[in-house]
Protein backbone atom coordinates (compact mmCIF):
# COMPACT_ATOMS: atom_id res chain seq x y z
CA UNK A 1 0.00 0.00 0.00
CA UNK A 2 1.40 3.45 -0.84
CA UNK A 3 2.13 5.76 2.10
CA UNK A 4 -0.79 7.53 3.70
CA UNK A 5 -3.07 5.02 5.38
CA UNK A 6 -6.47 3.61 4.46
CA UNK A 7 -8.13 5.68 1.69
CA UNK A 8 -11.49 4.34 2.80
CA UNK A 9 -11.41 6.78 5.72
CA UNK A 10 -11.38 10.59 5.75
CA UNK A 11 -8.06 10.53 7.54
CA UNK A 12 -6.62 8.13 4.99
CA UNK A 13 -7.73 10.32 2.07
CA UNK A 14 -6.19 13.38 3.71
CA UNK A 15 -2.96 11.51 4.39
CA UNK A 16 -2.65 10.43 0.75
CA UNK A 17 -3.15 14.02 -0.38
CA UNK A 18 -0.62 15.27 2.15
CA UNK A 19 1.91 12.68 1.00
CA UNK A 20 2.05 14.19 -2.50
CA UNK A 21 1.45 17.89 -1.70
CA UNK A 22 3.69 18.17 1.34
CA UNK A 23 1.09 19.43 3.82
CA UNK A 24 -2.15 18.15 5.38
CA UNK A 25 -5.21 19.55 3.59
CA UNK A 26 -7.87 21.50 5.46
CA UNK A 27 -10.68 19.42 4.01
CA UNK A 28 -11.21 16.41 1.74
CA UNK A 29 -14.68 15.71 0.31
CA UNK A 30 -15.23 12.40 -1.55
CA UNK A 31 -16.89 13.00 -4.92
CA UNK A 32 -17.41 9.60 -6.53
CA UNK A 33 -14.80 7.70 -8.45
CA UNK A 34 -14.01 5.46 -11.40
CA UNK A 35 -11.62 2.71 -12.45
CA UNK A 36 -9.42 1.98 -9.40
CA UNK A 37 -9.47 5.33 -7.64
CA UNK A 38 -11.68 7.74 -5.72
CA UNK A 39 -12.33 11.36 -6.65
CA UNK A 40 -12.20 14.13 -4.05
CA UNK A 41 -12.57 17.88 -3.80
CA UNK A 42 -9.80 19.18 -1.61
CA UNK A 43 -9.15 22.40 0.26
CA UNK A 44 -5.38 22.57 0.61
CA UNK A 45 -3.51 24.02 3.58
CA UNK A 46 -3.07 27.24 1.58
CA UNK A 47 -6.84 27.52 1.06
CA UNK A 48 -6.56 26.68 -2.66
CA UNK A 49 -9.26 24.40 -4.06
CA UNK A 50 -8.01 21.25 -5.76
CA UNK A 51 -9.17 17.99 -7.30
CA UNK A 52 -7.63 14.68 -6.24
CA UNK A 53 -7.64 11.10 -7.40
CA UNK A 54 -6.80 8.73 -4.55
CA UNK A 55 -6.08 5.02 -4.98
CA UNK A 56 -6.45 2.16 -2.52
CA UNK A 57 -3.23 0.55 -3.76
CA UNK A 58 -0.24 1.63 -5.80
CA UNK A 59 -1.08 1.90 -9.50
CA UNK A 60 2.33 1.30 -11.08
CA UNK A 61 2.70 4.77 -12.48
CA UNK A 62 -0.84 5.75 -13.55
CA UNK A 63 -0.88 9.03 -11.64
CA UNK A 64 2.71 9.87 -12.47
CA UNK A 65 1.99 9.36 -16.19
CA UNK A 66 -1.02 11.65 -16.03
CA UNK A 67 1.04 14.31 -14.23
CA UNK A 68 3.79 14.06 -16.86
CA UNK A 69 1.20 14.44 -19.60
CA UNK A 70 -0.41 17.48 -17.99
CA UNK A 71 2.94 19.21 -17.61
CA UNK A 72 3.91 18.42 -21.20
CA UNK A 73 0.62 19.78 -22.52
CA UNK A 74 0.99 22.89 -20.35
CA UNK A 75 4.46 23.52 -21.79
CA UNK A 76 2.86 24.23 -25.18
CA UNK A 77 1.03 27.25 -23.75
CA UNK A 78 -1.94 26.54 -26.02
CA UNK A 79 -4.86 24.78 -24.29
CA UNK A 80 -5.32 25.37 -20.56
CA UNK A 81 -4.87 22.32 -18.33
CA UNK A 82 -5.00 21.95 -14.54
CA UNK A 83 -1.75 22.58 -12.67
CA UNK A 84 -0.18 19.52 -11.09
CA UNK A 85 0.04 20.12 -7.32
CA UNK A 86 1.29 16.68 -6.38
CA UNK A 87 1.57 13.17 -7.82
CA UNK A 88 2.68 9.80 -6.52
CA UNK A 89 1.64 6.14 -6.34
CA UNK A 90 -1.31 6.88 -4.05
CA UNK A 91 -2.72 10.19 -5.30
CA UNK A 92 -2.78 12.85 -7.97
CA UNK A 93 -3.73 16.40 -6.96
CA UNK A 94 -4.41 19.13 -9.52
CA UNK A 95 -5.84 22.63 -9.41
CA UNK A 96 -9.62 22.92 -9.34
CA UNK A 97 -11.46 23.98 -12.51
CA UNK A 98 -14.82 25.73 -12.14
CA UNK A 99 -17.03 24.50 -14.93
CA UNK A 100 -19.62 26.34 -17.01
CA UNK A 101 -21.81 25.44 -20.01
CA UNK A 102 -20.15 25.25 -23.40
CA UNK A 103 -20.80 28.12 -25.79
CA UNK A 104 -20.20 28.62 -29.51
CA UNK A 105 -17.50 31.21 -28.80
CA UNK A 106 -15.71 28.94 -26.33
CA UNK A 107 -15.91 26.04 -28.79
CA UNK A 108 -14.31 28.16 -31.51
CA UNK A 109 -11.53 29.28 -29.20
CA UNK A 110 -10.96 25.67 -28.17
CA UNK A 111 -10.62 24.67 -31.81
CA UNK A 112 -7.95 27.31 -32.34
CA UNK A 113 -6.20 26.41 -29.09
CA UNK A 114 -6.20 22.71 -29.99
CA UNK A 115 -4.63 23.46 -33.36
CA UNK A 116 -1.82 25.34 -31.60
CA UNK A 117 -1.35 22.49 -29.12
CA UNK A 118 -0.95 19.98 -31.92
CA UNK A 119 1.44 22.31 -33.75
CA UNK A 120 3.72 22.39 -30.68
CA UNK A 121 4.73 18.92 -31.81
CA UNK A 122 6.59 16.04 -30.22
CA UNK A 123 10.03 14.57 -30.62
CA UNK A 124 8.59 11.34 -31.99
CA UNK A 125 5.46 9.28 -32.01
CA UNK A 126 4.97 8.00 -28.45
CA UNK A 127 6.32 9.61 -25.29
CA UNK A 128 9.34 9.42 -22.97
CA UNK A 129 7.21 7.99 -20.14
CA UNK A 130 5.20 4.80 -19.70
CA UNK A 131 1.63 5.66 -20.63
CA UNK A 132 -1.82 4.76 -19.41
CA UNK A 133 -5.30 5.30 -20.77
CA UNK A 134 -7.81 5.07 -17.92
CA UNK A 135 -6.33 2.18 -15.91
CA UNK A 136 -4.82 0.34 -18.90
CA UNK A 137 -1.12 0.44 -19.84
CA UNK A 138 -0.60 2.44 -23.02
CA UNK A 139 2.60 1.55 -24.90
CA UNK A 140 4.51 4.74 -25.66
CA UNK A 141 7.69 3.37 -27.22
CA UNK A 142 8.91 5.92 -29.76
CA UNK A 143 9.90 5.38 -33.35
CA UNK A 144 8.86 4.59 -36.89
CA UNK A 145 6.33 6.15 -39.19
CA UNK A 146 2.85 6.85 -37.82
CA UNK A 147 1.21 3.89 -39.62
CA UNK A 148 3.83 1.50 -38.22
CA UNK A 149 3.59 3.02 -34.76
CA UNK A 150 -0.24 3.09 -34.64
CA UNK A 151 -0.44 -0.55 -35.69
CA UNK A 152 2.24 -1.75 -33.27
CA UNK A 153 1.34 0.29 -30.19
CA UNK A 154 -2.35 1.16 -30.46
CA UNK A 155 -4.32 -1.30 -32.60
CA UNK A 156 -2.71 -4.72 -32.21
CA UNK A 157 -1.96 -4.68 -28.44
CA UNK A 158 -5.50 -3.62 -27.58
CA UNK A 159 -7.06 -6.09 -30.00
CA UNK A 160 -5.09 -8.87 -28.29
CA UNK A 161 -6.12 -7.61 -24.87
CA UNK A 162 -9.78 -7.47 -25.94
CA UNK A 163 -9.60 -11.03 -27.28
CA UNK A 164 -7.94 -12.27 -24.08
CA UNK A 165 -10.69 -10.58 -22.03
CA UNK A 166 -13.42 -12.24 -24.08
CA UNK A 167 -14.62 -8.88 -25.37
CA UNK A 168 -13.69 -9.42 -29.01
CA UNK A 169 -14.04 -12.55 -31.11
CA UNK A 170 -11.88 -13.95 -33.93
CA UNK A 171 -13.75 -12.04 -36.66
CA UNK A 172 -13.13 -8.75 -34.90
CA UNK A 173 -9.49 -9.56 -34.32
CA UNK A 174 -9.01 -10.42 -38.00
CA UNK A 175 -10.61 -7.16 -39.10
CA UNK A 176 -8.35 -5.12 -36.80
CA UNK A 177 -5.34 -7.03 -38.10
CA UNK A 178 -6.41 -6.27 -41.66
CA UNK A 179 -6.64 -2.56 -40.83
CA UNK A 180 -3.19 -2.71 -39.22
CA UNK A 181 -1.77 -4.43 -42.28
CA UNK A 182 -3.14 -1.76 -44.64
CA UNK A 183 -2.35 1.29 -42.54
CA UNK A 184 0.22 2.78 -44.90
CA UNK A 185 -2.48 3.01 -47.57
CA UNK A 186 -5.23 4.09 -45.16
CA UNK A 187 -3.38 6.76 -43.17
CA UNK A 188 -3.38 9.61 -45.69
CA UNK A 189 -0.47 12.03 -46.19
CA UNK A 190 2.42 11.73 -43.76
CA UNK A 191 2.45 14.30 -40.95
CA UNK A 192 4.97 15.08 -38.20
CA UNK A 193 4.18 13.98 -34.64
CA UNK A 194 1.60 16.26 -33.05
CA UNK A 195 1.34 16.98 -29.33
CA UNK A 196 -1.83 15.05 -28.47
CA UNK A 197 -4.09 14.92 -25.45
CA UNK A 198 -4.62 11.28 -26.40
CA UNK A 199 -8.03 10.68 -24.77
CA UNK A 200 -9.83 13.72 -26.10
CA UNK A 201 -13.46 12.73 -25.72
CA UNK A 202 -16.00 15.35 -24.69
CA UNK A 203 -15.93 14.34 -21.00
CA UNK A 204 -12.27 15.30 -20.83
CA UNK A 205 -12.98 18.87 -22.00
CA UNK A 206 -14.21 21.17 -19.23
CA UNK A 207 -15.58 24.58 -20.16
CA UNK A 208 -14.31 27.37 -17.96
CA UNK A 209 -13.63 31.08 -18.44
CA UNK A 210 -14.79 30.98 -22.05
CA UNK A 211 -12.29 28.25 -22.99
CA UNK A 212 -12.02 24.50 -23.23
CA UNK A 213 -9.77 23.04 -20.50
CA UNK A 214 -8.26 19.59 -21.08
CA UNK A 215 -8.19 17.07 -18.23
CA UNK A 216 -7.27 13.38 -17.82
CA UNK A 217 -4.78 13.11 -20.69
CA UNK A 218 -3.12 10.06 -22.16
CA UNK A 219 -0.68 12.49 -23.77
CA UNK A 220 1.81 11.45 -26.43
CA UNK A 221 3.13 12.33 -29.85
CA UNK A 222 0.66 11.07 -32.42
CA UNK A 223 -1.48 11.99 -35.42
CA UNK A 224 -3.51 15.16 -34.90
CA UNK A 225 -6.58 13.61 -36.53
CA UNK A 226 -6.78 11.20 -33.57
CA UNK A 227 -7.76 13.92 -31.08
CA UNK A 228 -10.35 15.31 -33.48
CA UNK A 229 -11.84 11.88 -34.16
CA UNK A 230 -12.08 11.26 -30.43
CA UNK A 231 -14.02 14.50 -29.95
CA UNK A 232 -16.53 13.22 -32.52
CA UNK A 233 -16.81 9.72 -31.06
CA UNK A 234 -19.15 10.58 -28.18
CA UNK A 235 -20.34 13.97 -29.40
CA UNK A 236 -18.56 17.12 -28.23
CA UNK A 237 -20.79 20.22 -27.95
CA UNK A 238 -20.54 22.59 -30.94
CA UNK A 239 -18.26 20.14 -32.70
CA UNK A 240 -18.81 21.84 -36.04
CA UNK A 241 -17.56 25.14 -34.53
CA UNK A 242 -14.52 23.41 -33.00
CA UNK A 243 -13.57 21.80 -36.30
CA UNK A 244 -14.13 24.93 -38.40
CA UNK A 245 -11.96 27.04 -36.07
CA UNK A 246 -9.27 24.35 -35.99
CA UNK A 247 -9.25 24.22 -39.78
CA UNK A 248 -8.78 27.99 -39.97
CA UNK A 249 -5.54 27.74 -37.97
CA UNK A 250 -4.24 24.40 -39.26
CA UNK A 251 -6.07 23.05 -42.32
CA UNK A 252 -6.52 19.29 -42.30
CA UNK A 253 -5.30 17.07 -45.12
CA UNK A 254 -7.71 16.08 -47.85
CA UNK A 255 -9.79 13.04 -46.94
CA UNK A 256 -9.62 13.56 -43.18
CA UNK A 257 -13.34 12.96 -42.71
CA UNK A 258 -13.06 9.54 -44.35
CA UNK A 259 -10.22 8.67 -41.96
CA UNK A 260 -12.25 9.36 -38.80
CA UNK A 261 -13.12 5.63 -38.31
CA UNK A 262 -9.44 4.72 -38.53
CA UNK A 263 -8.65 7.03 -35.64
CA UNK A 264 -11.71 5.96 -33.64
CA UNK A 265 -10.77 2.30 -33.79
CA UNK A 266 -8.21 2.50 -31.01
CA UNK A 267 -10.48 4.20 -28.43
CA UNK A 268 -13.23 1.70 -29.23
CA UNK A 269 -10.78 -1.15 -28.59
CA UNK A 270 -9.90 0.51 -25.28
CA UNK A 271 -13.60 0.58 -24.38
CA UNK A 272 -13.93 -3.09 -25.29
CA UNK A 273 -11.00 -3.90 -22.97
CA UNK A 274 -12.48 -1.83 -20.13
CA UNK A 275 -16.21 -2.49 -20.49
CA UNK A 276 -16.59 -5.76 -22.35
CA UNK A 277 -18.23 -7.34 -25.36
CA UNK A 278 -20.86 -4.61 -25.73
CA UNK A 279 -18.20 -2.74 -27.71
CA UNK A 280 -17.45 -5.63 -30.10
CA UNK A 281 -20.12 -4.46 -32.56
CA UNK A 282 -18.83 -0.88 -32.72
CA UNK A 283 -15.27 -2.20 -33.17
CA UNK A 284 -16.33 -4.36 -36.13
CA UNK A 285 -18.40 -1.58 -37.70
CA UNK A 286 -15.58 0.95 -37.33
CA UNK A 287 -12.90 -1.41 -38.67
CA UNK A 288 -15.04 -2.10 -41.74
CA UNK A 289 -15.60 1.64 -42.23
CA UNK A 290 -11.85 2.30 -41.99
CA UNK A 291 -11.16 -0.34 -44.63
CA UNK A 292 -13.93 0.90 -46.91
CA UNK A 293 -12.56 4.44 -46.78
CA UNK A 294 -9.34 3.14 -48.28
CA UNK A 295 -11.13 1.79 -51.36
Show the beta-strand stretches assigned E in 127-268. 131-133, 136-138, 194-196, 205-208, 211-214, 220-222
Q: 208 pairs with which residues across the strands? A: 211
- Cβ atoms of residues 31 and 19 within 8 Å: no
Which residue, 190, 117, 114, is CA-closest to 148? 190
The maximal CA–CA distance of the chain, rounded, in angstroms, is 60
168 Cβ neighbours under 8 A, 6+ residues apart:
159, 162, 176, 269, 272, 277, 280, 283
Catalytic option among 113, 199, 216, 227: 199
Using DSSP, state whether 135 is helix, strand or coil: coil
- Is 199 one of the annotated active-site residues of the chain? yes
Q: Would you name the residues annotated as active-site residues? A: 199
Amino acid sequence: MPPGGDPGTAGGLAARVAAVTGAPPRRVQPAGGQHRWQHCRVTLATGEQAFAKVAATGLDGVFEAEAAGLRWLADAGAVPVPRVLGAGPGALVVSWVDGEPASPAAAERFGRDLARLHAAGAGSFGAPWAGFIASLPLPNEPGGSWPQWYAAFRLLPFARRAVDAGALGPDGARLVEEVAGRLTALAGPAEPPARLHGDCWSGNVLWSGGRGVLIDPAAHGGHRESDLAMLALFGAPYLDRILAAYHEVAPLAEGWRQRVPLHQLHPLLVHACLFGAGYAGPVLHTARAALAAGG
